[in-house]
Every structure is written in C-alpha cells, then in structure tokens.
Amino acid sequence: MRAQPQASHFVAGAWAEDRAGAAFESVHSATGEVIARLHEATPAILDRALDAARAAQPAWAALAPVERGRILRRAADLMRARNRELSVLETLDTGKPLQETLVADAASGADALEYFAGYAPTVTGQTIPLGGDMAYTLREPLGVCAGIGAWNYPIQIAAWKAAPALAFGNAVVFKPSEVTPLSALALAEILAEAGLPAGLFNVVQGGGAVGSALVGDARVNKVSLTGSVPTGRKVYAQAAEGIKAATMELGGKSPLIIFDDADLENAVGAAMLGNFYSSGQICSNGTRVFVQRGLRDAFLGRLAERAATITLGAPLDEATQMGPLVSAAQAERVLGYITQGRAEGARLVCGGARVGETGAFVAPTVFADVTDEMVIAREEIFGPVMAVLDFDTEEEVIARANATEYGLSAGVFTRDLARAHRVVARLEAGTCWINAYNLTPVEMPFGGVKASGVGRENGHAALEHYTRIKSVYLGLGDVDAPY
C-alpha cells in the first residue's frame, strides 16, 4: 500500500521538496503500514509559499468574479470525476471506510468549490444615500489566508477553506495535519489542472511549529484553523498579536436530546451516526445523548441491537461500515477514556474494547447511566464512545445541555415541533438539528459558539470571514471648510 506523492509540498503551482526538513511518515492505521514519507516545510519552503501567494493574489483579485468562479467550478468537476481515487487516498490516510469517503469527503469538497464558484459573481456592495453626497461599499479580499487543518476530514477541511477564500479573491497557504498530509496535495494538483494560477493555493507540510510560523508571518492576513480547543486558544492568541482576522472551528461535547415522543428508530439512527460515523472522530458529534426517562429502556435496547450489527473491518472493503481510529495514539487515548468511564461507574451497554490484534480498531461503545460530572460526559473523546444520560423535564435538559464550555452543535428529537423550536432557541450551539443529526450541507453556515469557536464556514456567512468592507464617501458638492 503506497500513496507516495511526487513531493512533500505544493508551492507556486509546482511540487516542491526540501530534504532539510524533518522527515515524517503517513501511516495506514488499519495495518500500521507506512504509505508515504514526507518532509516538514523548512523556512525556505514557507518563504517561497508565502511570497508566491502574495505575488499571485492581486491579479487574481482583479479578475472578474465569474472568471474565478469558472476555474473553481472546473475543479469541482475534476474532483467529482476523480472521486474514487481521492476517496481511496483519504481512506488510506485516515483509516475511514471507503463506504464513507466515497460519499462524504471529496464530494463535500466539490460541493464547496461549486457553491462558492456560483456565489462569487453575486457579491456586491451597497450604495448609501447621504442627502446630497453619497457613499458606497466595496467587498475586498483579505489577501493571504493561512489554513490549518485537523486530521478527521482532511480534503473536506482543505476545500471548505480554499473555496470561499479563492472565490472572493484571496490566496491560500494550507497546512494539513501531519497525521493526514496527502489529500490536500491532491486538491492542489486539481486546482492547478483546473487553471488556478500558480501561487494561489499552496500546501506546506509540518506540525504545530510550521502552523505557528504561518500564523505569525506578516505576509498572512487571515488565519482559519480547524482543530482542538487547546490549539485554538494558542492560534487565536497568536493571530490577535498580529491583529489578524481569524476563524476557529474547534471541538465540542454536543448534546443530542431525545424526548420520549420521538420516533425511536430515527432517534437511535441519529445517535449512532452522531457517535460512530468516522469512528466517532467528528467535531460536531452528539456525544452526550440525553434520553427522556420514558423512552430510556426502549432506546438502549434498540441501540444495543443495532450497534451489534455494525461491520468493523478493512477500510478499503466497501462492505466495511466502521474502520479504525486515525492512529494508534488516538486509539490509546479513546481506550483510556473507556477505562475512565468504567471506573467512574458508568454502565457499559456494548463495546468497550480494542478489536483485533493489529490496527487502531475500537468497538462501538455505549455507556448508560452517565452523569454530568463524569469525565466521559465532559471531555471530547473523539472516538466511538456514546454517553447516554437520563432526564425528566425540558427545563432540566436545557440547563444540563448548556452546562459546558463547548457550544458547537446540538440536536433535538421530538414529534412536537413547537417544543423543538422552543428548545433549540435556548441551546447554546452554533448548529442545531431537529429530527436529524450531523448533516452539514455547504449551503448552511457551520461553526461554534463559546469555546467551540468563532466565525462561520459555508453558506452566505463565509463572505464575512473572507472579505472586508471598504467604505467610499463620494463628495458631490463643494468642500465646506470653516477656515
């Protein structure tokens, strides 16, 4: 199994290598096999990427938006045409099953490119009548945007950042997670083939130090991070030092609230999707499943039955529904939380152990009788571990759902739609689902409140985060000077 790219970086429209950078490997976590060997970006590579981005951006911004859109649209078509190839690459790099990557990763990236390709030409300013004189506003790009990605949705994260940034006239330097370095390079190749001028989308490899070097560089105007809250605190602070615009897409411990009038099968299905899809490595997962006491036993019964049917196995086998965690280290971390859950007195309903001799597989795990103070109910586990908590009243569950520093997402299942809207209005979360969970179409803004982040990706809202407003006052009469 090899997925060796032509070189570690993609800079100024071409592959780039500097063997002076520290070597690192990308590993297929189902088997432990090394699939690629790369080098971290050196200061020389970063310099080239940032200079190329700065040099290319003004001419790109000066193009008619419809021309920028045409290139991005072509890239979306190329991504779709190569969906299988890109999905295999993503499966090798992340361990996620091909069954998922075929529909959720490159496909979502292509949607973003297509959406923002169409959005770019519709962006206009305002005219502001002032009674005689007038003013107008221009929407301008920010300049060079640094994108820093997490390892759970590598090509989707790269595309969700690149598409709006490029559509609105910016250049991008993107650093993927060192754990999943490969698919951002494939995106760079596709954008170049679609006709994106050199220097507008650069990929540089490396860990936190390379990310930090980008954030601190004076050539960078905006920073967009997808990552954990601790990293977000550091990156946001460093961006503030340079008075730079910042989007922070961070972690969560989201509540999924199931009232006892909910459709049982749908509620169970959503709870499983919201905890086991991508082996639970999704920021918006509903990892605190609050079930109203009247439905609790039926819910746990069906959940255990359906969880037992999940097919764990080799991620490249299309029949496999659940793969390994992204790395052996992540599997250890998740198993540590499972041990802690047991020690704290949560009741293990199913799973709870490693699966197989090799590979980072952890069984889909459900804990019942979880209480709010337990660590498994407070910390983001980022693995296939569901915590089920009981509740009695609407008022009580809203207070408990909000009693967390996080505020990424939330879900409500009930047949009483008036209650659903009433509850959602009071939940402290950036994205809420009613009788659905974890669907993130590109048309809908996505992002967190509280410690889960600032800014929004996708939807019309992304415009605010990749452009700035210039106000122009137009004097139409004489200047009224008192001296």
Name the residues annotated as catalytic: 161, 249, 283, 457
Sign, CA dihedral 211-195-108-186, equals: negative
Query: In the structure encoding, which two tokens stand for residue 76, read together?
Result: 């979306």
Residue 404 is a binding residue for ligand NDP (CB under 6 A): no
Distance between CA atoms of residues 213 and 138, nearest Å: 31
Residue 226 is a binding residue for ligand NDP (CB under 6 A): yes
Please report, as residue ranges, which positions from 371 to 390 form the binding site for ligand NDP (by CB under 6 A): 380, 382
Query: Of the candidates 208, 242, 269, 459, which one interacts with ligand NDP according to CB under 6 A?
Result: 208
Among residues 87 and 226, whose Cβ is nearest to ligand NDP?
226
Please report, as residue ranges, which positions from 271 to 300 form the binding site for ligand NDP (by CB under 6 A): 283
Residue 228 is a binding residue for ligand NDP (CB under 6 A): yes
Distance between CA atoms of residues 131 and 114, nearest Å: 41
Q: Are 271 and 289 in contact (CB under 8 A)?
A: yes
Among residues 214 and 295, whose Cβ is nearest to ligand NDP?
214
- CA 287 → CA 234, 255, 284, 376, 466, distances in Å? 25, 6, 9, 9, 31
b/e code 446-476 from CB counts within 10 Å (16+ = b)? bbbebbbbbbbbbbeebbebbbeeeeeeeee
Cβ 147 to ligand NDP, closest distance in Å?
Answer: 9
Query: In the structure encoding, which two tokens stand for residue 470, read together?
Result: 């210039």
Residue 227 is a binding residue for ligand NDP (CB under 6 A): yes
- For strand 33-39 and strand 23-28, is the pairing parallel, antiparallel, or unpaired? antiparallel
Residue 197 is a binding residue for ligand NDP (CB under 6 A): no
Q: Are 26 and 35 in contact (CB under 8 A)?
A: yes
Distance between CA atoms of residues 229 and 451, nearest Å: 7
Residue 269 is a binding residue for ligand NDP (CB under 6 A): no
Among residues 352 and 407, whose Cβ is nearest to ligand NDP?
407
- The DSSP H or E segment spanning 12 is none
Q: Of 42-50, 123-131, 150-158, 468-476, which segment contacts ligand NDP by CB under 6 A? A: 150-158
Cβ 140 to ligand NDP, closest distance in Å?
Answer: 26
Query: Of the candidates 105, 111, 114, 178, which one interacts with ligand NDP according to CB under 6 A?
Result: 178
Residue 249 is a binding residue for ligand NDP (CB under 6 A): yes
Residue 105 is a binding residue for ligand NDP (CB under 6 A): no
Binding interface with ligand NDP (CB under 6 A)? 148-153, 175, 177-178, 207-208, 211-212, 215, 225-228, 231, 234-235, 249-252, 283, 380, 382, 408, 448, 453
